[in-house]
Structure 1
Amino acid sequence: MTIDVNTVPLDPEAMLTGLKRWVELESPTYDKPSVDRMTAMAAEDMEAMGFNVEVIPGPEGLGDCAKASFPHPKAGEPGVLIMGHLDTVHPLGTLEKLPFRREGNICWGPGICDMKGGNYAAISAIKALAEMGVETPLPVHVLLTSDEEIGTPGTRALIEAEAAKHKYILVPEPAWGRNTVVTGRYAIARYHLTAMGRPSHAGAALKAGQSAVKMMARQLLAIEDMTDDDCTFSVSVVHGGQWVNCVPTICRAECLSMAKRQKDLDRGTERILAFDKREADGTGFFVEKSVVRPVWEASAGTMDLFERAKRIAGTIGFPLANASEGGGSDGNFTGAMGLPTLDGLGVVGADVHTLNEHIEVDSLASRGRLIAGLLAELGA
């Protein structure tokens, strides 16, 4: 079914009022109670919009997830899955430095762009179609998860299992450009780094010890210097030592590696694992591979989704381009599964993961209408 998407009843002012509640409920990944409250709020709002909602207990130590479906005559058949995450990178208390505020068409707040704004626009689009009396050709489902910002270690299996039930996957992650969507993403791997030194009194017997912090500093520089055009390495989240008068025994860090092609990421994995050196006395430098996002290269099905979106965007009044992007998302998993996946459908904004994270308010409606247009015709 083709509809005039410009008539979809989405009011950015009303949408922003609803979104404000989501943004002001901070939900950093590692704070389970906060993420649970955010999931409960999203579930409550979706139920009020007419969705059937199931709250799914989160992975151990992580927040709950929500699975929702909109009533449909073909309920239970393969349809469209909209995927998003409710966790953010911003720690509790960020609202004091980055309060929800608006100036003209710009609105700030923690997680407003990545990706609470896109999630809210997507569910609002589904409700708006129902208000118009438009029945989507395929049933529409929503999956909101709790650990995307740390690489999806606990919910990947859930995502892949739910995605496998459907024909199309839409991901309202932020639009990385005003008129763009994402049709592929780079491969990403994370590593745990641990330097193990030898303790001693830093004042009385400095030379008897071996500093884990010093070891980490040297290896950190060597690892980051491996970055080239094909594969990057970035080390952060460094913790070492406890008392300044003790030579530090342990120093830990995390490394993020990203590559445009899977073979480049695999080559990078071989290079960083070569840093793993363990001595008989227990000292050394240990490298452990953590979560991985596979490379997602655009399939014919994904490009068909893009062409549909491009045509719909043109009727709304903006040209739409596509790109393969760095910065992983859960679309990596579904794209790598070969499922038609369109990512970056969310709101327009900038400076995500910073204290200047913001959106363009009118994009709540324009991006919502783009999603509505896709839902109205997919499967027809």
Structure 2
Amino acid sequence: MNYQELPFDSQEILAGLKPWVLCESPTYVASSVDRMMDLAAYELAALGAEIERIPGRMGFGGSLRARLPHKNMGQPGILVSGHLDTVHPLGTLEKLPFRIEDGKAYGPGIQDMKGGNYVCVEALRQIVKAGWETPLPVTVLFTPDEEVGTPSTRDLIEMEAARNKYVLVPEPAKPDGGCVTGRYAIARFDLKTIGRPSHASWALKDGRSAIAAMARKVLEIEAMTTEDCTYSVGVFHAGQWVNCVSSECVGEALSMAKRQEDLDKGVEAMLGLNDASGDVIFEVTRGVTRPVWEPDAGTMALYEITKGIAKEIGFDLPHGSAGGGSDGNFTGAMGIPTIDSIGVRGAGLHTLNEHIEIDSLAERAQLAAGLFLRLD
């Protein structure tokens, strides 16, 4: 069973990927994510996979678990862990339409991470069509909430990973085309300022602006950034009427550190900002956290296999730890051999310039097929 004999074609893969990109699936619109899960479920069911739709909770969409037919189904094998939610709101296709230019394909979520998920499905499709059976059983788990820290499906991912020998995470390739063998720790925080309302024209001095207080706190929080631990505020909501002094403002902050102990100190520093002593109350509550994933011998052995397959295909596959966070944080931190960011090459993820390099579709499908056929 030589994976290099499989007929992967980037243009054909792109044609199959296009409907996934045209199905917008922002995290916070559960019905849209569920429609995206429908598309993926159909593709995997056509391969003969045992399909399980897992209801969503906490307001998020549902998940999809597909077990490929195998004589050893149910025994430890390979888990493909991917997410089908994106950061792009409904209507982004108007600003970022699916299009092809200069060997690149554009569209919301095409790089992060529908492209990588699709090439894994394509790899399995070609293996099934060839009539081959992988040495290990393969399970595909697609989840709906990675872009907001995986609050509703972390335990689902961890329980499924614990049943398997290896985890493949087809997040986008790094800018140098490399993969990820470790990830930094990440913590999220919910912020709130509570002020005193008043009429903004005839009683301005009576009010205490929650917006102004939050603006000062944003500067304070981001000034806490060091080489060991970074802080950023990415969400800020307040106000309904310009003629009212705002009484409440909410925000969200993110902290990242390369070492768990540095993140723990960062969490302590953030929680220490809680203050109810002044005219405006400032509240900080801790949200979801991704643990540090430090590569161990199992992950590095998996990397060496992956690197060898890439070399056979004809490209280098450097590796390293990275920020950004993914569901690989969870599986890698559990000590399960995990290889992350083996998805498609591209740039502009989370922006209106998100795109992939079309030629990388066949390349990465070959890489996935090589792993499915070689891991035992």
Question: The TM-score by the shorter chain falls in which range?
Answer: over 0.9
Q: Whole-Å Cα distance in 2 between the matches of residues 41 and 320 of structure 1? A: 31
Match of 1:241, as an amino acid? G
Residue pairs, 1:291-306, within 5 angstroms: 291-306=288-303
Residue pairs, 1:121-270, within 5 angstroms: 121-270=119-268
Q: Whole-Å Cα distance in 1 between the matches of residues 249 and 230 of structure 2? A: 22
Match of 1:52, as an amino acid? E
The answer to whether residue 330 in structure 2 is matched with residue 328 in structure 1 is no
Q: Which residue of 2 aligns with 1:337?
A: 334
Q: Which residue of 1 aligns with 2:306?
A: 309
**What is the DSSP-based 3-state SS (H/G/I as helix, E as strand, rest coil) of the residue aligned with 1:269?**
helix
Q: Would the aligned equivalents of 2:344 and 2:356 in 1 still touch at CA under 8 Å?
A: yes
Q: Whole-Å Cα distance in 1 between the matches of residues 240 and 313 of structure 2? A: 58
Q: Which residue of 1 aligns with 2:81?
A: 83
Q: Would the aligned equivalents of 2:184 and 2:258 in 1 still touch at CA under 8 Å?
A: yes
Q: How many residues align?
A: 376
From 348, 364, 368, give the equivalent of 1:367.
Answer: 364
User: What are the superposed Cα offsets for residues 15-34 of structure 1, whole Å, 9 maximum, x if unpaired?
Assistant: 11110000001000001111
The answer for unaligned runs of 5 or more in structure 1 is none
TM-score (norm 1): 0.97
Match of 2:73, as an amino acid? A
Q: Which residue of 2 aligns with 1:5?
A: 3
Q: Would the aligned equivalents of 1:185 and 1:297 in 2 still touch at CA under 8 Å?
A: yes
Q: Whole-Å Cα distance in 2 between the matches of residues 323 and 58 of structure 1? A: 33
User: What are the superposed Cα offsets for residues 161-203 of structure 1, whole Å, 9 maximum, x if unpaired?
Assistant: 1111111000000001343010001100000000011112222
User: What are the superposed Cα offsets for residues 68-89 of structure 1, whole Å, 9 maximum, x if unpaired?
Assistant: 0110000110110000000000
Q: Whole-Å Cα distance in 2 between the matches of residues 220 and 280 of structure 1? A: 17
From 348, 352, 361, give the equivalent of 1:355.
Answer: 352
**What is the DSSP-based 3-state SS (H/G/I as helix, E as strand, rest coil) of the residue aligned with 2:261?**
helix
Residue 292 (structure 1) shift? 0.4
**What is the DSSP-based 3-state SS (H/G/I as helix, E as strand, rest coil) of the residue aligned with 1:277?**
coil
Match of 2:122, as an amino acid? S
Q: Whole-Å Cα distance in 1 between the matches of residues 11 and 49 of structure 2? A: 22
Q: Whole-Å Cα distance in 1 between the matches of residues 201 and 96 of structure 2? A: 43
Q: Which residue of 2 aligns with 1:118?
A: 116
**What is the DSSP-based 3-state SS (H/G/I as helix, E as strand, rest coil) of the residue aligned with 1:292?**
strand
Residue 49 (structure 1) shift? 2.4
User: What are the superposed Cα offsets for residues 104-148 of structure 1, whole Å, 9 maximum, x if unpaired?
Assistant: 421101000000000000011112122223321110000000000
**What is the DSSP-based 3-state SS (H/G/I as helix, E as strand, rest coil) of the residue aligned with 1:372?**
helix
Q: Whole-Å Cα distance in 1 between the matches of residues 113 and 267 of structure 2? A: 29
Residues 177 and 5 (structure 1), Cα distance of their counterparts in 2 relative to 1, 3 Å cut? farther
**What is the DSSP-based 3-state SS (H/G/I as helix, E as strand, rest coil) of the residue aligned with 1:365?**
helix
Q: Whole-Å Cα distance in 2 between the matches of residues 49 and 135 of structure 1? A: 12
Residues 80 and 49 (structure 1), Cα distance of their counterparts in 2 relative to 1, 3 Å cut? same
The answer for unaligned runs of 5 or more in structure 2 is none
User: What are the superposed Cα offsets for residues 25-66 of structure 1, whole Å, 9 maximum, x if unpaired?
Assistant: 100000111111110111011111222211111123111110
Match of 1:5, as an amino acid? Y
Q: Would the aligned equivalents of 2:76 and 2:163 in 1 still touch at CA under 8 Å?
A: yes
Q: Whole-Å Cα distance in 1 between the matches of residues 215 and 10 of structure 2? A: 49
Q: Would the aligned equivalents of 1:5 and 1:315 in 2 still touch at CA under 8 Å?
A: no
Q: Would the aligned equivalents of 2:47 and 2:68 in 1 still touch at CA under 8 Å?
A: no
Q: After the TM superposition, which parts of structure 1 deviate over 2 Å for at least 4 consecutive aligned residues?
A: 3-6, 130-134
Of all paired residues, the percent bearing the same amino acid is: 58
Q: Which residue of 2 aligns with 1:62?
A: 60
TM-align CA RMSD:
1.2
Q: Which residue of 2 aligns with 1:36?
A: 34
Q: Would the aligned equivalents of 2:47 and 2:128 in 1 still touch at CA under 8 Å?
A: no
